[in-house]
Structure 1
Amino acid sequence: MSELHNTPSPAESTWLLRRLPDMDEAQFNQWQVLLEHRTGMTLPAERRSFLETNLSIRMREIGCSSYQAYYEAIVLGPDAIQEWSILVDRLTVQETRFFRDPDAFRLVADYVLTRPREQLRKHALEAWSVGCSTGEEPYTLAMVLNECMHQLTLQPLYGVTGSDISSPVVEKARTGRFSARKLQGMDESIKARYFRPAERNTVEIIDNIRERVCFTRLNVLDLDKAPMHGMNIIFCQNLLIYFRRWRRRDIVKRLAERLAPGGLLVLGQGELTDWQPPGLQRVPSEHVLAWIKRQTDEE
């Protein structure tokens, strides 16, 4: 498309300095439909300015002068797949941090510590972080599991998978490298055990933790195609809030299908209300929304 290129001409540079016109109702609806169709996520009217800001930043980067032209490039352009991946990264990446929900991670630790020791000795624990962003959550899960195994004086037999719809954040997560500020507030003994200094005021996860965590790109609308099965722990927090209620229930049902009998599903507080997922038993907790999969699939 003629309006899309990487280096704007001097004439075009003039409009790059101007504020783009506001997005009209029809254009906003068009983007709402596209986002929900491709990702399942809804964008309420009060987030129109968020969409405008992120679209306009990207449009200025590539020299695109109108929302309509950019929409057509995303849908029909020769680089549509790559451009869509970049845009999804801009619109979905949220702030995350290590040990973001301490109560939830304590629940995970309690769950592991109360498993039959013989079971932990013979079978690897498999955990899955859904919507893992840049990796803080799955690496935290790995640290929690490692601490539990050490406390039980067992060999560290476990693995963690992180999945996210954004390819760029998955690539960043794989590096296991973070800015030093990401560790602010973390217990000093945990820092010392699991991180080491790296270049340019960054830190990196130690090898024996990073090697136990793998990452993959996955859209939660495609859970029926996900290769994860028989998971002992599924951690899915701060993701469902972006979906309609009926789709939240569908996602949770599909996640439950991937749990092993007796497996633990952890969601964010308030992300699912007034509904009991079939085959799951609610964990009694005031601070964490979690379920255990029944040993037999009772409905």
Structure 2
Amino acid sequence: MAVALNPHDSALALAGMDEAVFARWVALLERRTGVVVAPQRKPFLVSAVRARMREVGYGNFMQYFEHISAPGAGAVEWATLVDRLTVHETRFFRHMPSFDLIRERWLPERLGNGIGALHAWSVGCASGEEAWSLAMVLHHGLLGHGGKVHFGVTASDVSSAAVATARAAIYPRGRIEEVPALYRAKYVEMRGEEAFTPIASLRKRVAFARVNLLQAAAAPLQRLNLIFCQNVLMYFARERRRELLDGLAGLLEPQGLLLIGPGEVTSWSHPALTRVAWQGTLAYQRRD
């Protein structure tokens, strides 16, 4: 999940939201999504909210705030607003060192220990590229061992629109170069002349769902072998990041791997996890 506030028309947007109202919006966003909006990002928040207010006919920030805070129709409108407040920017194989760690070290070690199935979670999958990249790496690695190990990838995002795009899995042709040649030849196919998609056998391995990371503990996730959580934690308060990581650590099976974006957290440790030494990555493995 890449979350950012839309900066369009920020100067004009400043009028109309005083500091008290801004504070209430900030608190609502943090309480419901965990995302922290710094004071210097007020123009971005105001611009994005105002754009949606124009569409639904609201001219007052507090009236709109009260509407989305209410149950029923307010919950539906809140889901739409969250989609507008988030920017889903990602790409295939975005952080190659992390995929190299999975492919070259972690997966061969797990297969050497005789594992029967693998379940991975792509946290904050945005438009799906990360999840499909994971599926390609796992599928290719398992083929080298006879293809007898079942695997699946669960991919989630807080945005319903992002999940719908990820599930559709239709990407413009110009982005096919993001997929390394080895995987491109085996796992993608053209849709007409201007788009491509993962092959059908890979699509069967990936399931998408709308999940708020703050409620991840309540999500119907089984014990996991691999958690890929990159470019997500940076949008949460530092104290909340540690809480979320503790929760993710608790979902890992023995020898399970947790991959975080480098620089997203500092000085975090967990009694059940060991830091994995692999250049350019921030990864932890659960002990037996």
Identify the residue that residue 58 of structure 1 maps to in structure 2.
Answer: 52
Q: Partner residue of 1:124?
A: 117
Name the CA shift for 1:57/1:143 in 2 (closer, same or farther; >3 Å): same
Aligned pairs for 1:248-259 (under 5 A) are 248-259=241-252
1:79 matched to 2:73: yes
Q: Which position in structure 2 is the counterpart of 1:3?
A: none
What whole-Å deviation, never above 9, does each CA across 1:152-200 have from its counterpart, x for those lacking one?
A: 3433521100011112211221112122233234323422321222257
| Pair 1:168–1:185, CA change in 2 (3 A) | closer
Match of 2:9 in 1: none
**What is the SS of the residue equivalent to 1:184?**
helix
Q: CA deviation at 1:292?
A: 0.5
Could you tell me which of 222, 243, 246 is aligned with 2:215?
A: 222
1:141 to 130, 134, 142: 134
Aligned: 1:191 with 2:184: yes
Q: Give the letter for the 1:175 counterpart.
A: A
Where does 1:14-163 land on structure 2 (aligned, <5 Å)? 21-76=15-70, 79-109=73-103, 110-117=105-112, 119-120=114-115, 123-155=116-148, 157-163=150-156
Whose Rg is larger? 1
Identity %: 40
Ranked by relative contact order (alpha carbons within 8 Å, sequence separation 6 or more), the top structure is 2
Kept in 2: contact 1:126–1:232 (CA 8 A): yes
Equivalent residue of 2:55, what SS?
helix
**Could you tell me how far apart the structure 2 residues matched to 1:184 and 1:24 are?**
46
Instruction: State the aligned residue count.
Output: 275
Amino acid at match of 1:277: H
Q: Flag as ranges the 4+ runs of structure 1 deviating above 4 A.
A: none
Deviations 1:70-89 (A, max 9, x none): 21221137521111101111
Structure 2 counterpart SS, 1:281: strand
Aligned counterparts of 1:60 and 1:197: Cα–Cα separation in 2: 39
Q: Which residue of 2 aligns with 1:266?
A: 259
Question: Unaligned stretches of 5+ in structure 1?
Answer: 1-18
Distance 1:275 1:187, change over 3 A: closer
* Separation in structure 1 between the aligned mates of residue 71 and residue 232 of structure 2, nearest angstrom: 29
